[in-house]
Amino acid sequence: MDKSALATILLLLWLYLATETKAVAEDRANKSSLGGILWASGKDESDFLAALDADDDYDMGEKDGGELTGGFSSLESMLQWAIGHSDPEKLKEKASDVQRLSATELSKRQAEIQELMEKLKMPSDAELMKIAIADLNNTSISLEERQRALNELLILVEPIDNANDLDKLGGLVVVVRELENSEPDIRTTSAWILGKASQNNELVQNQILELGVLTRLMKMVKSSYVEEALKALYAISALIRNNDNGQELFNLENGYSMLQEILSNITIDIRLQKKALLLVADLADYQQELAYGTKLSPVGDHHLFKSVVDLTSTNDIDLLEKALLAIKSLLRLPSIEPLVVLRDICGLEDVLERIKVQLEDLTNELGDYAQEMESLRREVHITFHRKLEKVSWVPT
């Protein structure tokens, strides 16, 4: 916005507040030195000047309770924003000018304010979502316009209230449909939207799962376009996290076999393996929390466990860390089977000793990080042996 437009808006807002408080001007003693203008909030001049240094932290969306759109809860909040972007000396001059206007002139300016505000009014998040959804429903728009509409939704669905509104506005069905688009970037962004909207949101998780999306996302994980595979796996993780129904569907769709394939594929992008390890740990942690509650299908089998442990031979320390975290979570599962597999099939004892030597060799290179990794390795080792001690009989 240019300076002249800002000055005009500021003046009109001052006029409006002056009009609102004019009726009580003679009965109140809270006039400031800034031309005698009365603040609806009763703030004195020090409060007013302090506002000049305040951060611009208004939300850009429609608020509940009839607040103004465009991120301002009231005329005063809009005024405070304008104050923070204006010259204090010029504000004093404008305040003096206001006092010389008649009641008729003030009323006229008030009408101008209302008209100007209508022109400046920003659409709410819901309105922006409707526009983006309408664009996606328009078969004649260009690929660039379709991508832009998806990018807008990606930002808009981050707040949980907006994510909850996505289905009501018809957006979920539209985004899911874009998973079948022939353009990989469109599919990638669509999966990203679904993941972001469903993150830690059981309502949206279930809405998406009811649309049968999981099967499609699992196919996308196998895409040769790495970004598509990454965002699809991200969406799957978000959909089934802490969700009983989602995890059962994941098992029925052979999700654990998908994870095992990712972890055992030596040519696959390492970022996918890292995400897969995080998902294994997350699934194991959730089942550990439900040890005495809802029963879910076991977390994978000995093939998955072996693939997790095998990744500890990597030279990528970040991947090693995530593998150790996954092993630690698997050890905490309530059943005895993971312990037997990790001990007998995976040779966890020898693996942990090998990692210890590896980290010792990397101490000079990694510094504190090597020490942190050794602490994690030691924690896994202790968990492993404590679990062995607690079990009175472990078949060999």
Instruction: Give the pLDDT confidence of 294-306 residue by residue, as tens digits.
Output: 566 677 688 999 9
pLDDT (tens digit, 9 = 90+) per residue, 166-193? Answer: 999 999 999 999 999 999 999 999 999 9
The pair of three-digit structure tokens given for residue 94, joined into one six-digit string: 């404008």
Q: CB within 8 A of 279, min separation 6: which ones?
A: 233, 236, 237, 259
End-to-end CA distance of the chain: 75
Which range is least confidently modeled, 40-54, 117-131, 304-318?
A: 40-54
Note the pTM of the prediction, 2 decimals: 0.70
Give the pLDDT mean for 334-348. Answer: 88
295: Cβ contacts below 8 Å, ≥ 6 apart: none
Q: Given pLDDT bands bounded at 50, 70 and 90, which one contains residue 123?
A: confident
Superfamily of domain 124-253: Leucine-rich Repeat Variant (1.25.10.10)
Average pLDDT, the chain: 80
Q: Is 319 a residue whose pLDDT tops 90?
A: yes
| Cβ proximity of 209 and 246 under 8 Å | yes
Please give the pLDDT value at position 169. Answer: 95
Is 284:334 a contact under the CB 8 Å cutoff? no
SS (H, E, C) the chain: CCHHHHHHHHHHHHHHHHHHHHCCHHHCCCCCCCCCCCCCCCCCHHHHHHHHHCCCCCCCCCCCCCCCCCCCCCHHHHHHHHHHCCCHHHHHHHHHHHHCCCHHHHHHHHHHHHHHHHHHCCCCHHHHHHHHHHHHCCCCCCHHHHHHHHHHHHHHCCCHHHHHHHHHCCHHHHHHHHCCCCCHHHHHHHHHHHHHHHCCCHHHHHHHHCCCHHHHHHHHCCCCCHHHHHHHHHHHHHHHCCCHHHHHHHHHCCHHHHHHHHHHCCCCCHHHHHHHHHHHHHHHHHHHHCCCCCCCCCCCCHHHHHHHHHHHHCCCHHHHHHHHHHHHHHHCCCCCHHHHHHHHHCCHHHHHHHHHHHHHHCHHHHCHHHHHHHHHHHHHHHHHHHHHHHCCCCCC
At 274, is the pLDDT very low, low, confident or very high (cuts 50, 70, 90)?
Answer: very high
- What are 252-261's pLDDT values in tens digits? 999 999 999 9
Taking only the tens place, the pLDDT of each residue in 47-74 is: 433 443 343 343 333 434 444 444 454 5
User: What confidence score (pLDDT) does residue 103 get?
Assistant: 77
pLDDT confidence tier of residue 40, bands split at 50, 70 and 90: very low
Inform me whether the pLDDT recorded for 242 exceeds 50: yes
pLDDT over 60 (residue 98): yes
Q: Where are the domains of the chain?
A: 3-120, 124-253, 272-396
pLDDT, average across residues 17-29: 45
- Say if residue 25's pLDDT is above 80: no
pLDDT confidence bin for 114, thresholds 50/70/90: confident
Q: What is the mean pLDDT of residues 97-124?
A: 74
